[in-house]
Amino acid sequence: LRRRINTQDIAVQKARDSQVRAEGVMKTAKLETQLTLKKAENALQNAVLDLEKAKKSTVETYIQDQEGQIENYKKDIELSEKNVRAYNALRELGFVSEVEVLREKAKAAKTAHTMKIALAELAAYKKYDQVKLLSEKQLAVDEAKVNVEKTRVANESDMNDAVSTVTTAKKTLELEI
């Protein structure tokens, strides 16, 4: 009889230990799920901010910078053309050589070429790079939204498992008592 009582006491103690362990696992799971969800929500917030930054700063700033450079090239070309006329007049009077006139013409041609390339790059940026950048940022936002929802579903499942384990441990303890 004493052996059966001791065996039963041991079984009850194991059942209590199992219940306490299950409750601890459930508390830990709850904390972990909360943290995981916060991380997922933070990633979503950061992705949204990245998208907004790309729309309102990165893209606009790049376009404004390129347009400003193009305007400067136009002014440089205008100045070079005036210099060419002035050097031509000075050459006709004998004050400068033909080389100086050619040097100014080359300078104007280089600047015109640089402006032409900048215009083409700006057009390509607006048509392709800007769209690609914003598309990638939007995809990151969409992915972060999915991750938040997946985390919620996984968290709910983990908590249900933990609650089930605690319930099973309690019922096992009740049966042992």
Binned at pLDDT 50, 70 and 90, residue 136 comes out as very high
CB–CB of 108/84 below 8 Å? yes
Compute the distance between CA of residue 137 and CA of residue 52 in angstroms, rounded to an integer: 9
In this predicted model, what pLDDT tens digit does every residue of 85-113 receive, in sequence order? Answer: 999 999 999 999 999 999 999 999 999 99
34 vs 13: CA distance, rounded Å: 32
Task: Say what percent of the chain tops pLDDT 70.
Answer: 100
The pTM score is 0.72
Predicted confidence band of residue 167 (pLDDT cuts 50, 70, 90): very high
Degrees, nearest 5: CA angle 47-50-56: 140
* pLDDT over 90 (residue 36): yes
Q: Report how many helices (DSSP H) and strands (DSSP E) the chain contains, helices first.
A: 4, 0
Is the pLDDT reported for residue 17 higher than 90?
Answer: yes
Q: What is the mean pLDDT of residues 145-160?
A: 97
Here the tokens at position 86 are 């002035």
Contact 173, 15 (CB under 8 A): yes
Residue 144, both tokens: 């972060």
**Average pLDDT of 131-150?**
98
The per-residue pLDDT for 176 is: 85
What's the CA gap between 74 and 59, in Å, rounded?
A: 23
- Quick one: pLDDT at residue 153? 97
pLDDT tens-digit profile of 44-73?
999 999 999 999 999 999 999 999 999 999
